[in-house]
Amino acid sequence: MSGTQTGSHRAGGAHASPVVELDDVHLSFAGVKAINGVSLQVQPGELFAVIGPNGAGKTSLFNVISGVYRPQKGRISVLGEDVLGAKPNAIARRGVARTFQNIALFEHLTVVDNLMLGRHQHIGYGALSAVLWRGRARSQEIEHRRRCEEIVDFLELAQWRSLPVGLLPYGVQKRVELGRALAMEPKLLLLDEPVAGMNLEETEDMARFVLDIRDELDLAIIMVEHDMGLVMDLADRVLVVDFGTPITTGTPDEVQRHPEVVRAYLGEALS
Ligand SMILES: Nc1ncnc2c1ncn2[C@@H]1O[C@H](COP(=O)(O)OP(=O)(O)OP(=O)(O)O)[C@@H](O)[C@H]1O
């Protein structure tokens, strides 16, 4: 893809400014503490994973970063700008894209058209130019299609590019969803259980694409995932949460050796 760089700021490089920063974030629902004092920073080119048992608050964390929920306390900034209270579409425009646990695609539309929907926020022409199909509308449409075709190549989707997404295997649909997030040209990519429900081959493919995205596009990535093997293989750093409370943040090695993590709930999964 054009404009690519290598992930030179990996794992919290000293000179990079964080793409996203959370400081002592708290979120409760009628007495349930979904997030209880989480702080984190993710740098460009860093793959940051969040793990924890069911109900630990992982999806809630994505929802506060993307503006779906407003925390009662704490600070959240994206690219140095405070985004607390901003609407989800404003945060998306700031450079935050997301994939979901359950696939959220338009299944009657083709792969390329689903990717084009990810370009929505970059479309700058008015309705009249679009109807008349001239000038800015025409040149922008061509450019958007070109960007989408780059993503088709990058994610090896060419053989399915003109098929309705609903007809494609599950693993390919998850890849299209990833592609649509990339079409937004984000600075921060939130991946919610990217390999949930996948077979081994699909999981390996997805792992490869996630690494390619980190290394070639220099994005900050936060990944929530239950597949511990995958997390420990891929992540630069891992945050462990339990009942909304952060237990530790560190490299996969550090986290796996943390006594409280082992004792609390990871011992069996990692042994
Ligand atoms: N909209 C909501 N209303 C009320 N409670 C909620 C809401 N969203 C989340 N919660 C509660 O907040 C807590 C954290 O939920 P969350 O979905 O963030 O956990 P999770 O770690 O993503 O779980 P899973 O691994 O099962 O997806 C849970 O107790 C959940 O019931």
pLDDT tens readout for residues 46-76: 999 999 988 889 999 999 999 999 999 999 9
31: CA distance to ligand 1 center in Å? Answer: 12
Phi, psi of 102 (to 5 degrees): -105, 135
Residue 31 CB–ligand 1 contact under 6 Å: no
Phi, psi of 163 (to 5 degrees): -95, 150
Residue 12's pLDDT is what? 45
Query: Cβ neighbours of residue 125 under 8 Å, at least 6 residues apart?
Result: 135, 136, 137, 140
Q: What domains lie within the chain, and their CATH numbers?
A: 1-95+186-271 (3.40.50.300), 105-184 (no CATH)
Query: What sign does the CA torsion over 108, 111, 114, 116 have?
Result: negative
Residue 251's pLDDT is what? 97
Residue 126's pLDDT is what? 54
Query: Which residues does the chain have with pLDDT short of 70?
Result: 1-15, 103, 121-138, 264-271
Q: Please tell me the residue having the least CA distance from ligand 1 atom 17.
A: 59
Confidence (pTM)? 0.87
Residue 62's pLDDT is what? 95
Atom of ligand 1 nearest to the CA of 61: 18
246: CA distance to ligand 1 center in Å? Answer: 15
Residue 43 CB–ligand 1 contact under 6 Å: no
Q: What is the phi-psi region of residue 186: left when phi exceeds 0, alpha when psi lies from -120 to 50, beta otherwise?
A: beta
- Within a 10 A sphere around the Cβ of 244, how many other Cβ atoms? 23
Residue 60 CB–ligand 1 contact under 6 Å: yes
**Per-residue DSSP letters for 55-98?**
TSSHHHHHHHHTTSS--SEEEEEETTEE-TT--HHHHHHHTEEE
53 and 267 in contact (C-beta within 8 Å)? no
Residue 55 CB–ligand 1 contact under 6 Å: yes
